Amino acid sequence: MEPNCETYNKDELINESTRFINQFTALTKLTSKNKLGVSNSNELFIEFLENGNIQAWLRKITGQSRIVINNYLEKELYDYYLFLLYLNHLKDVTNSDDIINGIIETHIAFLANMNKGLEILSGIYPDYPKLISTCSLYKTRFLGCINMNN
């Protein structure tokens, strides 16, 4: 049976939406002078140190290597992508549900900024092809999701 407005949990959908936005907000604010870390609450954060030597020292003692960041992104961006596909499916089967349409509008704007962050992140690690590949894959996937409201 296809989901409709009565068969999915709107509060859960709103909570998941908020969780993903909180989880990836750092990507929307990333600059080429900063690096990302993963907090204990499983959200990305920006390391505001701009001195490369201090960044390297801090990342070493906190275990925030580029491998850790890439592994995190591979798993979490995939989960986010599945959520976006689910939103698109709900939009198709519920027609003009205001809550779903509002969540989709929010994520379309968020994805545009997040893709800029993925581009910046690729440039921060030019010698780490695996991270560049992860960023490229999700930039492409998210560009497709930006068009999901059409």
Distances in Å between the Cα of 128 and the Cα atoms of 37, 57, 68, 95, 117 are: 16, 19, 12, 43, 16
CA dihedral for 18, 2, 5, 102, sign (positive or negative): positive
Percent of the chain, pLDDT > 90?
57
pLDDT in tens, 99-150: 888 999 999 999 999 999 999 999 999 999 999 999 999 999 998 887 766 5
Q: Where are the chain's structural domains?
A: 10-25+70-149
